[in-house]
Structure 1
Amino acid sequence: MSQNESQTTITLADLIENVKLGGGSVITSNTELEPAAGPQASVAPAKYVEGKGQAAKSVFVYETRYIAGKPENQDEPKTAKKTVKGKPQTVVLIDSKQSELNRAEAAIEQGRQYGDEAVVKIPRAVVTYQTENGPVEYTDMELSHRIFDGHFRAGTIDGKLITENDDYRALRNCTPADMSALLNTAPAALLFGAWDSTRKSNQVRLRSALVGEIIGVLADQKRTGEEQQARRSGARVDAVAASVKLAPKDMESLVNDQEAELSPGNIGARRNEIKKAKADDRISASPLGLGSIPPSVEEIGGVACRRIIRSWVLSLASLRQLRFGQDENKNVAARALLAALGLNAIARAERELYIRANCDLIESSAPVVTLDQRFGEKKTFAPLTVEHTDQLLLEAIENAKKVGVADWNGQTFNVDGNPIIIKNATAEDAE
């Protein structure tokens, strides 16, 4: 019998017991990862913008973290694994908390698209934009502020402003004493967090009960992170011509022909070049995707890591701050339902180790799932799987229905998107 087979799986009874007042604080899932190409390979961490305007540049984020040794006693699955004494070390942020949550939400949406029995039952809100190519939908699991996102707030229902709709008002008027409206309409906000930030008063603020991240322990602890950054070269080869330079009149003709396909910023920059050019000048067509770009070393590329760790934390303590009326049985059932959804989100996100280009990772060992039992006691469980957490979620849905706190049947809160927004949308990055 394998180690995983000998471990117990987390049950609905475990969740119910620990979302009651005084229960365990968290459920965690931690996994050792490594570069898919081997220890010699560098990985590309997330990039962030530092500075503004012309001074803006792409950077990696480095921190000092206390890193304990790898788990010992792998043959003791039912007790918390001991760790080697650790020390402060320099790490790089490979995937942030917000990015990991986005991956979890996307994995749930993917499951819905495949018709998975459990996730199709989750209530959701959808804003639909009418475009030249037909309707395009965005859900509250895709939009940054969930049901309180600007795309929802600018929309309409039955031709009237959504902010005047009684059902939407009920969502915005939820209080810590009763979150029932959100639970049965847009529960993503209760698990992943949301903030009705533009409302002038009575704002709903919900912290995320689920957080995750991936960090890499730098290979050389004697040098700074910046000193260990690799550089990436970039180039473009044009099989037709190494260089395409056009007279101002020809460039203007090309821009006019492609105006419907080019971004407003690109069009503006090209026309500004045309306006400043003399009749005998030649303008590079490289911004239009023509001609080669010589190899250059500009972008930060990757770093070498001696160890990579992915971690998830589902905060049961946060879920216990949510109430759904005065009946404690309903409160417990609703919290257990959200906890089951959180575990399903972890399992789905962990199933596909897709991060970004030049950051291909594999698991070095099975995830270690741990339930806090208070007073320093912990209990470990088998790694979370989609199959198991789907069943767990279905059981939690049925339990919540039985006590009368939630009835999840895949109901959708439909909103018509404001045509002004989609008309003026552009793929250009924000400045």
Structure 2
Amino acid sequence: MLDSVQSQANRIEEALQDAVDEGRIQIPVVEVDFSDVPVVDPGAEAEGLYEPIGRVTSLEAPHRVADAILRDSELDGVPFRNTPLGKKIGMANLRNATPLFEICPTALLLGIWDSTGPKGGLGTKFQRAMVSEIIGVNASYGTKTSSRIDPLGIRKDAAQIYESMTSDWTLDVTDAKKKSGKAVLKGKDGKPSEANHGNIVPSMSAVSRDGVPLAGGVTIDYAEQMTVLSLPAIRRLRFPIEGKDSREANIAGRTVVAALGLAGAVLAAERGLDLRSRCLLWPTAPLTWELLQTPGQLPQSFELTADAAIKLLEEAVAGAIAANLPWMKEPLILKPAAKLVELVRKSQQLAVQGGEEE
């Protein structure tokens, strides 16, 4: 597995967010704006964040519009989930997908479970209608090596170093931090390596009980990406308007969700496949779709450019608006609650002080 279903979903959302930011598409997005929170230098007397957050949107939050970041934010001083729009999230289900269609249609496409909302485990839940993954074929495990040659030639037993009262570390016992009257060693044993000095002996990556390297990467013959947009899953969605079901609105809403999936996948492909360090993939052929329309018949193949996908989405949205379905064209801006800002501040403070992330 080179890129999982969850990772691919995130890449699709990132591509959609980029398209929103660039003005290429207009889709409903809920945004938490941290820009009013002051940013200060570590050690400053004034309280604020040490690292700016900027904004977090429903396309960037791990759990989409049901994420705790949005839950713990406010609209005009009211907790988001207590606002009329926020309350709608808990009303959504397969027979009433209209609330999510209005606020976060990507949740209908990529799935959502509002398990931390007011209803807990009974919260709004939708399966993924689109899944995508990238696999490597005929993988051969490699071995990772690591080492460091110190240009200064500092030996591991050159001296003991201590936690300093005035800087990061010190050799001077009188300048060292004290605990129970004794100088506090830097790190575990006070070796120069605790301050990132000295050589690191070349080593091989660890292996599992089966002898497979745990961090050595793989070499593959080729990679294959498979993206599936489930039309049967989308057909289950209903879009009542003011409690009344209509065939026109159902078809219009489903068309938008399908068009949004195609646009997201094509826009993600347009960005390239630089998955991570040392994992850059280059397609050997254009992205091709196959429509499985009639059982027993061959699929219909077609290609779709990003511009064509965006036009398709625009036409679908226009049809939904004509059918009186709600559609937010501008982001809904929230502000983080004071307790959320304080939690972020304390976390950043711990990171500055060298605390390890759990």
Using the TM superposition, name which of 201-210 and 308-317 deviates more: 201-210
Shift of 1:271: 9.8
Instruction: Describe the superposition over 1:26-71 as per-residue Cα deviations: whole angstroms up to 9, x where unpaired.
Output: xxxxxxxxxxxxxxxxxxxxxxxxxxxxxxxxxxxxxxxxxxxxxx
Contact kept, 8 Å, 2:159 with 2:191, in 1: the verdict is yes
Contact kept, 8 Å, 1:100 with 1:212, in 2: the verdict is yes
Paired amino acid for 1:295: P
Give 2:191's match in structure 1, choosing from 258, 261, 284: 284
Shift of 1:387: 1.3
Match for residue 349 of structure 1? 268
Match for residue 381 of structure 1? 301
The structure with more strand, counted as a fraction of residues: 1
Contact kept, 8 Å, 1:153 with 1:163, in 2: the verdict is yes
Name the CA shift for 1:360/1:201 in 2 (closer, same or farther; >3 Å).
closer
* DSSP 3-state at the match of 2:303: coil
Mapped partners of 2:54, 2:327: distance in 1? 27
Name the CA shift for 1:172/1:276 in 2 (closer, same or farther; >3 Å).
farther
Mapped partners of 2:194, 2:236: distance in 1? 53
Name the CA shift for 1:290/1:398 in 2 (closer, same or farther; >3 Å).
farther
Mapped partners of 1:106, 1:429: distance in 2? 28
| Structure 1 residues 86-235: aligned runs within 5 Å | 93-116=1-24, 118=25, 121-129=26-34, 130-132=37-39, 136-198=54-116, 199-200=119-120, 202-218=122-138, 228-235=140-147
Correspondence 1:407 to 2:327: yes
Contact kept, 8 Å, 2:61 with 2:67, in 1: the verdict is yes
Match for residue 209 of structure 2? none
Paired amino acid for 2:54: V
Contact kept, 8 Å, 1:162 with 1:415, in 2: the verdict is no
Name the CA shift for 1:403/1:308 in 2 (closer, same or farther; >3 Å).
same
Unpaired runs of 5+ residues, structure 1, are 1-92, 220-227, 258-269
Task: Tell me the percent identity.
Answer: 26
Give 2:255's match in structure 1, choosing from 313, 327, 336: 336
Name the CA shift for 1:316/1:235 in 2 (closer, same or farther; >3 Å).
same
Question: TM-score if structure 1 supplies the norm length?
Answer: 0.65
Give 1:318's match in structure 2, choosing from 233, 238, 245: 233
Q: Tell which has more relative contact order, 1 or 2 (C-alpha 8 A, sep 6+).
A: 1
Paired amino acid for 1:182: L
Instruction: Describe the superposition over 1:196-239 as per-residue Cα deviations: whole angstroms up to 9, x where unpaired.
Output: 112336410011111101111215xxxxxxxx421111234554
Shift of 1:101: 0.8
Paired amino acid for 1:140: S
Paired amino acid for 1:303: V
Shift of 1:285: 4.6
Shift of 1:330: 0.5
Shift of 1:276: 8.4
Name the CA shift for 1:161/1:408 in 2 (closer, same or farther; >3 Å).
closer
Mapped partners of 1:287, 1:114: distance in 2? 45
Mapped partners of 2:305, 2:198: distance in 1? 49
Paired amino acid for 2:132: G
Paired amino acid for 1:422: V
Match for residue 425 of structure 1? 347
Name the CA shift for 1:331/1:282 in 2 (closer, same or farther; >3 Å).
closer
Match for residue 221 of structure 2? 306
* DSSP 3-state at the match of 2:282: strand
User: Across the two proteins, how many residue pairs are aligned to each other?
Assistant: 314
* DSSP 3-state at the match of 1:423: helix
Unpaired runs of 5+ residues, structure 2, are 40-50, 171-176, 206-213
Shift of 1:115: 2.6
Instruction: Describe the superposition over 1:98-126 as per-residue Cα deviations: whole angstroms up to 9, x where unpaired.
Output: 0111111111112223232x2xx111011
Shift of 1:137: 0.5
Contact kept, 8 Å, 1:232 with 1:301, in 2: the verdict is yes
Paired amino acid for 2:191: S
Paired amino acid for 1:423: R
Name the CA shift for 1:369/1:135 in 2 (closer, same or farther; >3 Å).
closer
* DSSP 3-state at the match of 1:216: strand
Mapped partners of 1:275, 1:353: distance in 2? 54
Mapped partners of 2:185, 2:328: distance in 1? 67
What's the C-alpha RMSD, in Å, of the aligned pairs?
3.1
Paired amino acid for 1:421: L
